[in-house]
Structure formats: C-alpha cells, structure tokens
Structure 1
Amino acid sequence: MQTHHDLPVSGVSAGEIASEGYDLDALLNQHFAGRVVRKDLTKQLKEGANVPVYVLEYLLGMYCASDDDDVVEQGLQNVKRILADNYVRPDEAEKVKSLIRERGSYKIIDKVSVKLNQKKDVYEAQLSNLGIKDALVPSQMVKDNEKLLTGGIWCMITVNYFFEEGQKTSPFSIDDA
C-alpha cells in the first residue's frame, strides 16, 4: 500500500520514517483521522472521569486527533464539557431524570441495553446509570443497532419525557437525535 507521499506503509519502522523526514504523528492523523488517540490524554482524563476507557478514547479521537497543540487543547476542553454535561453519574441519576422531565428531553451518555416487551409489543431500554428500565425505543433504532439487544452499548442518546394521565407506558423514551 502506498500513500500519496510514496511512503511504503508495511515493513517500515518508526525510526526509518523519522530518518526520512516524515512525521509519524502527522501521517497517522492524516490517514486515520478521528481514530488516533494519544494515550497520555486518555490517562489524564481517566483520572477525573468515571467512564469506560473506550468512551473516552472515542471522544478524544473525535476532538483531539491532531498534532497541533492548540487543536488538542481545544479538543480536551470540548471532551471535558461533553462529559460534564452529558455523562450520567449513578449518584446523580435522580437529578438528571428531573432535568429530563423539566426540559422535555436531554442528551446523555450511558450504557443502553434493549429488550422486547412482548406483552406490550414494544422495545424497552434499560439505561444503566440513569436507572430507567422501561424507556420506549423506536423499532428502527433497534434494527439499525442490533447490539442494543445483546448486552447493550455505551452511547450518546436523547432521552425524552412525556407524561399523560392514564398512559400505560413509561413517560421516558429515547432517540438518537
């Protein structure tokens, strides 16, 4: 495989790349944009956030995949803000549920698993940290993300709240908007 720099990717060591005047970090960021994660940033954020490492690495890949220090610093601020605003800590679940009720909807980061409630013929989500076990899930979301049915996945989703007197389903529902 050749890059547009005519640098053979396979069989070339980092030392050879450096000796030829290529910047390995720049090449990686150029060819694998959004997928390169600096482990020092993961370690730095992991100490202050109680989220799975792969969630942190996903966010870091999205916002910090650059060899420009200013871009990385701005990306770190974005990741910290996203975690502060959207990650549900289990000890703050009731506060977040109240926020969802008051606003009508709110975007969160949580582990979501789905089951089919055959008595009601609806899919229901369990939101791990939020402590909700019966949020309604659109069928299309389940079709598009089958892993929801096999143990769940960490994701950023919008949780909606709509309560109507006498309703037989949960006032909570989710979507990926």
Structure 2
Amino acid sequence: MDTDPAPPAVDWQSIVATTFDVVQPLLPVLGGVVLLALVLTCPVPGRGPARRQGRDPWRGFKYEPRRIVLTLADHRCEGSLLLGLGRCRRPATDVDHIYPWSKNGPTIVSNGAALCRDCNRTKSNKTPPWWLVLSLERRRRSYYPAGTSVRVSAAMTDSDRAARTNAAERRRTR
C-alpha cells in the first residue's frame, strides 16, 4: 500500500527571520515615503475652517461674492495645470469653495475660486494640499489688481459676519 510521505514541517521561525532580514533595510525608505505623502497632502496649517466653526448657512456663491470672485479672476478659470504651475485657459462658469463647504469651508470671497465646469468637477469636495493653495496664491499675484489680497483662507472675518447680518436683516424687512 502506497502512502504519501508526510509533508515536511514548516519552520515558521526561519521564515519570519528571513522576511524580517529582507524588510528591515526598507523600513527607513517606507517611513520616508509615508512621511512625504503626509506632508504633500496636508492642508495649510491655520488656513482651513476652524473645528468649532459650524457649517455656513450660505451654501453657494451668489450675488456680490460671486461677482467679486469672477471679476478678480478676469472671468477665467483658476484651476491649476501641471501640479499648480500653470492656469487653466477656459472661461470660468462656476465659483466654488477652495476649502469645501461640506467640510465647513465658509462661502466667502477669500475661500472662493472661479472655475470652469471641468475643473470644478475634478476638484469635487477635496481639501487642497498646502502646495496647491500656495501655487494658487502665487498665480493670483499675476492677475489680481495691485493691493488686493491673494490669500486663501477659510476663516470668516468681522466684515464677512456683518455681511451675513445685513443680508438677514434685509430679508426680514421685505
């Protein structure tokens, strides 16, 4: 009667030791890659919406804020080309939040960007990494009027709050 010989016992200890010997030299490289990925995808510190800040009741850019954002961008898309080095050449049809409204980004001029339909869809509700925000600010220096702030910020100022209050009062008195 033929019987198959028993399979040899697996030496797990030597497999783990061999695997560790192969992986150990790669750990600094993997750590560096993870750190680089975190640094490249993090938002600009202190520029995004405050954690305690609730969602802005004004969802979309309408009326004066929309007109201001489009005018500052010369009615041209502010979307980036080639990792933020260039600017989209299409006309702007939308005004969207740089720091997304769905992530508590307020509907204010300093948080608005004029975009074409394609750039707006591509952006979706992604929070931009720090390098993309800084490249937008750099590009804005070339087409914003002198003396106008190019700073991207999701922090509401006193004048932004006053505009909300004035608009609410106008609606109540109608």
CA radius of gyration, larger in: 2
Q: Same fold (TM over 0.5)?
A: no
The normalised TM-score by structure 2 is: 0.28
Q: Which TM-score applies when normalising by structure 1?
A: 0.28
Larger helix fraction of residues: 2
Larger relative contact order (Cα-Cα within 8 Å, sequence gap ≥ 6): 2
Tell me which protein shows more strand as a share of its residues. 1
